[in-house]
Amino acid sequence: SPIPGFKALDVASVLDYLEEKPDLAQLLGPRSSPTSWKAREVGDGNLNFVYIVEGPDGGLVVKQALPFLRLVGDDWPLGQQRIGYEAKALETENRYCPEHTPTLHLYDPRMALIVMQYLAPPHVILRLGLTEGHIYPQLADQVSRFLAQTLFHTSLIHLNSEQFRAQQANFLGNIELIRLTEQVIFSEPYFDASNNWHTSPHLDDLAKSFQTDEKIKAAISRLKALFMERGQAMLQADFHTGSLMVTEQTMFAIDAEFAFYGPMAFDVGKIIANLLLAYFASDGHEAAAGQSRQKQRTWLLQAVVEIWEKFESRFLDLWNAEGHGDLYPDSLFGPTAPAGSKSLKRAQQDFMKELFEDCLGMAAAVMTRRIIGIAHIQDFKLIESDDHRAPCERRALELAKSLLLGAPGRSIQQVVTAAESLR
């Protein structure tokens, strides 16, 4: 049931709501006539309602959580506290990576809403830009910076045990969204769940193989355990191409409502998966657009490689400069400890090897859920013809299957080579 005193906003009442907040009203400028402020609802995600409000001096975004999942409606109730976790995550992300995080102006728990910086055009949701064939030359650099900054600084490599537990405790209650991910990413695609759907009959055989192969069930169970048991760092936790707003020069991560302390591999793997999905979808768009998308495909695979490589080197740089937390403590790994720098290097190599393998597993799980689970993506949905879409989806699923089964997993270059060889 809704929070007491809660009111669902609409394009009229959102204006009155903001008028009562002088600091925010000032950012919009004077409301001197009934039409000087304008609002529109632009939510295109699966969960919430998002209003862009513009006045003579500027714009604001109001995001409100209603007590249900937007994609399904009243039949899928969902706690409104999720917006509070988004507010907490935005604060943390703004602390460690302000250049890629929208400013949070207000969190109103009673109204289950946040007010944040408006990312005006030419900012566009990355997924949309990709379906239109665009290239974003800075993206890999920006994404790897956001991931390294947020994941490193919220981990025990940087924080001491007390600081870490206090931070982690802030997100322990985000149970409904954590469970939603457990359900729709790590369980449903692997059995005959009523929420699942896929392009049929084209993918019937392959979809079935995900539900009957014992090695796949073992692999997804290991990844689910990692997701559920490893509170390693604060994750954005829904880090896909629909959660990034970009221009050619800028990148902002929005939509952090799923945030919790989980395995770093989930954030890194999710964005890699989504760029690979865009890669496989591009053939379908090319057929409809009648124009080659080869340049974009080449860039997408380069971006996948660059995200991993730059994430790894940035994270290790941070570790060497600021790694004074309670994991890998200076007493064991500091420069004056016995064999200190040699031991640290070895520990870092082991850490990155494990993280890389887990990222590929998470990437596989994320690719799979978008093709045979409940929540499909525009990348494929916009390919109207089943006959054009199905081969793209099949290639992505084949790659996901091979990654879930542990191959080809030795280097990021091998992964993109495998993706290319499926075309």
Which residues in 178-207 contact ligand SR1 (CB under 6 A)?
180-181, 184
Question: Pattern of binders to ligand SR1 over 77-96, x per CB under 6 A?
Answer: --------------------
184 binds, among Mg ion, ligand SR1, ligand ADP, none (CB under 5 to 8 A by kind): ligand SR1
**Would you count residue 225 as binding ligand SR1 (CB under 6 A)?**
no
Position of tokens 């053939």?
283
Which one of 10-18, 38-46, 174-182, 197-205 is the stretch in contact with ligand ADP (CB under 6 A)?
38-46
Q: What is the DSSP string of 195-246?
A: T---STTTTHHHHHHHHH-HHHHHHHHHHHHHHHH---EEE-S--SGGGEEE
Q: How far is 293 from 286, CA to CA, in rounded Å?
A: 6
Q: How far is 271 from 273, CA to CA, in rounded Å?
A: 5
Residues in the chain: 423
101 binds, among ligand SR1, ligand ADP, Mg ion, none (CB under 5 to 8 A by kind): Mg ion
Which residues in 338-377 contact ligand SR1 (CB under 6 A)?
374-375
**Would you count residue 102 as binding ligand ADP (CB under 6 A)?**
yes
Q: How far is the CB of 422 from ligand ADP (least distance, A)?
A: 29
Q: How far is 193 from 314, CA to CA, in rounded Å?
A: 40
Q: List the one residue from 17, 45, 241, 244 that touches ligand ADP (CB under 6 A).
A: 45
**Identity of the residue, 167 or 236, whose beta carbon is nearer to Mg ion in the bound complex:** 236
**Would you count residue 118 as binding ligand ADP (CB under 6 A)?**
yes
**Would you count residue 104 as binding Mg ion (CB under 5 A)?**
no
**Identity of the residue, 238 or 286, whose beta carbon is nearer to ligand SR1 in the bound complex:** 238
**Identity of the residue, 8 or 71, whose beta carbon is nearer to ligand SR1 in the bound complex:** 71
Q: How far is the CB of 46 from ligand SR1 (least distance, A)?
A: 4
Q: What is the DSSP letter of 183?
A: H
Q: Please state whether the peptide bond connecting residue 121 to the residue before it is cis, i.e. omega within 30 degrees of 0.
A: no
For 350, what's the count of Cα atoms within 13 Å in the CB-facing half-sphere?
7
Letter for the amino acid at 232?
Q
Could you tell me the end-to-end alpha-carbon distance of the chain, in angstroms, rounded to an integer?
49
Q: Is 143 helix (H, G, I), strand (E, B) or coil?
A: helix
**Would you count residue 71 as binding ligand SR1 (CB under 6 A)?**
yes
Letter for the amino acid at 190?
Y
| Contact by Cβ (8 Å): 249, 171 | no
Q: What is the DSSP string of 322-377?
A: H--SSSS-HHHHSTTSTTHHHHHHHHHHHHHHHHHHHHHHHHHHHHHHHHHSS---
Residue with the CB atom nearest Mg ion in the bound state: 45
**Would you count residue 286 as binding ligand ADP (CB under 6 A)?**
no
Q: How far is the CB of 120 from ligand ADP (least distance, A)?
A: 7
* Residues at the interface with ligand SR1 (CB under 6 A): 45-46, 69, 71, 180-181, 184, 238, 374-375
* Residues at the interface with ligand ADP (CB under 6 A): 42-48, 50, 61, 63, 102, 116-119, 125, 243, 254-255, 257
